[in-house]
Amino acid sequence: MGLKQLIGDLCFDPKHTRWIAPLLNVGDALLCVLIIWKIPYTEIDWTTYMQQIQLFLNGERDYTLIKGSTGPLVYPAAHVYSYTLLYHITDEGRDIAFGQIIFLFLYLITLTIVMACYRRVGAPPYLFPLLVLSKRLHSVYMLRLFNDGLAALMMWVSICFFINRKWTAGVIAWSLGLGIKMTLILLAPAVIVLLALSLSIWQCARLAVLALGIQVMLAMPFLPTNPQGYFNCAFEFGRQFMYKWTVNWRFIPEDLFLSAEWWRTLIILHALILFAFGLTGFLRPAGTNLIVFIRKFCTGQHRGIPLHPNFITTVLLTSLAIGLLCARSLHYQFFAYLCWATPYLLWRASYHPAIVCAIWLLQEIAWNTYPSTDISSAIVVLSLAVQVFGVLANRADAFPTISPAPRTKEHVQ
């Protein structure tokens, strides 16, 4: 075997991921320990989280009155419960080092699940180093202790379940993640598409009730006091963002960024891109057009289609990327959702490996530019556009319609 062929096999033969993934995991674990040991922790929101939890533990149940030094509580109830646990096991938030160790394990657990998903869809080995080399991602988890780490963990748990067609478990994990941070609502169009393709209308209805019921149960302690206040704070769709903190759209004028017209434009753009994917990619396994599919689904004639793991993953991560592309404002912690999705999306767009690595690097540099600049924010937006429209252009390969023999039994009950 020649050197060129050896390198090619190591980079592109998926069978090598069975030893590359564990090796990278071990190396990244050592890197994480070194980061905690050598790089100072940066206080941003941890103290505010702990102040808010203290108010909750003191009996405050009006969400509008739960505040900290950097602002009010703007996350759903699962965030409160998660950080209540962290509050107790980190000596009321004072033991920062132990909190960093906890987030180190959260990071490594999530990374392991991400790599398992990549292996499940047959991703080539050259993508795996890109999963462990992000400076910004390590910072989000171990130097900032943002709740995005917890939400990203639940996102990838749900993706793993969905890939293996465990629909009920996937919906539960996704809804719990949504209960930590509203960002996971960007996956909602994909979840709807996958369930509608795979299940009957009545099975989908049961899972929709389950997802909604989880949100209601999480919110129960706060609903008797001020239900409107809870939903307005936890799921604030019209939230105004500060121009100086945005990672994307920094290259447009501030007055336009803050305008209602710009917000409505992004919503319309989001809907149009999703519609384009729905017409040309998301419904490919159904082998029919949108109107016919909806008619069959609503009249109970649709009985479900076995979906390819790559189709499932592409739909989920594309929906996420579309949402981030059209987001009114992205902050640095949002990279927790995007970083591990980017290599997969660039691969499914069929870009050359050199281009995949170049786009990944440019995106990483842009997300590590602080404060953001016109150039860095433009790169953030363009890199997302390259991922989204690259998948759309390569939809025939990115959305495979022939499912392999199922490896696991589907779970819908």
Look-up: residue for tokens 């336009």?
256
Q: What's residue 7's pLDDT?
A: 66
Number of domains in the chain: 1
Contact call for residues 82 and 147 (beta carbons, < 8 A): yes
pLDDT digits (tens, 9 = 90+) for 299-316: 888 888 999 999 999 999
Q: What's residue 270's pLDDT?
A: 97
Q: Cα(339)–Cα(352) distance, rounded to whole angstroms? A: 19
Decide if 403 is inside a domain: no
What distance lies between CA 92 and its chain's CA centroid?
29
Decide if 405 is inside a domain: no
Decide if 325 is inside a domain: yes
**Percent of the chain at pLDDT above 70?**
94
- Domain carrying residue 51: 3-398
Decide if 404 is inside a domain: no
Read off φ and ψ for residue 240, nearest 5 degrees.
Answer: -90, 130
Q: What's residue 143's pLDDT?
A: 96
Q: What's residue 300's pLDDT?
A: 85
Q: Which residues contact 337 (CB under 8 A, 6 or more apart)?
A: 148, 151, 152, 155, 183, 186, 320, 324
Decide if 406 is inside a domain: no
Q: What's residue 303's pLDDT?
A: 80
* Low pLDDT (below 70) residues in the chain: 1-10, 238-240, 403-413
Q: Cα(355)–Cα(346) distance, rounded to whole angstroms? A: 9
Nearest to 83 by CA among 151, 159, 33: 151
